[in-house]
Amino acid sequence: MFVPIHDENSLKSIPFQYVTVSLIVVNVVVFMLSVVGGDMVAVASFGIIPKELFDTSLLPVPIEEQVSVRPTQLTLFTYMFFHGDVLHLAGNMLFLWVFGDNVEDAM
């Protein structure tokens, strides 16, 4: 299995990858809040539910009554901060750490 730990490209135009580190911190904090709080209403409100995004079906009534309505444009941004479990979070943050600094440096 391919698991990158680092890359050979050094930063050229920025001294430190502040955006990459900030994204990692925000992702970990949101994951911890969703695990510790166990707030499925927040996950259903800010996460994308494919059945609702691509279909006209709605959520079951018990969850739908609790979910606050968010604009679709907002959920297309906020969904990327939710992860299924620790391995999902760790894998995504590892790849963000390895490759995010190169993207940030290029931008």
100, 8 Cβ separation under 8 angstroms = no
pTM over 0.85: no
- Half-sphere exposure (Cβ direction) of 57: Cα atoms closer than 13 Å: 7
Q: Tell me the pLDDT tens digit for each residue of 26-45.
A: 999 888 888 887 666 666 67
Give 25's pLDDT tier (boundaries 50, 70, 90). Answer: very high
pLDDT higher than 50, residue 104: yes
The pLDDT assigned to 8 comes to 80
Write the single-letter amino acid at 70: R
Dihedral angle of Cα 92, 107, 8, 97, to the nearest 10 degrees: -20
% of the chain exceeding 70 in pLDDT = 69
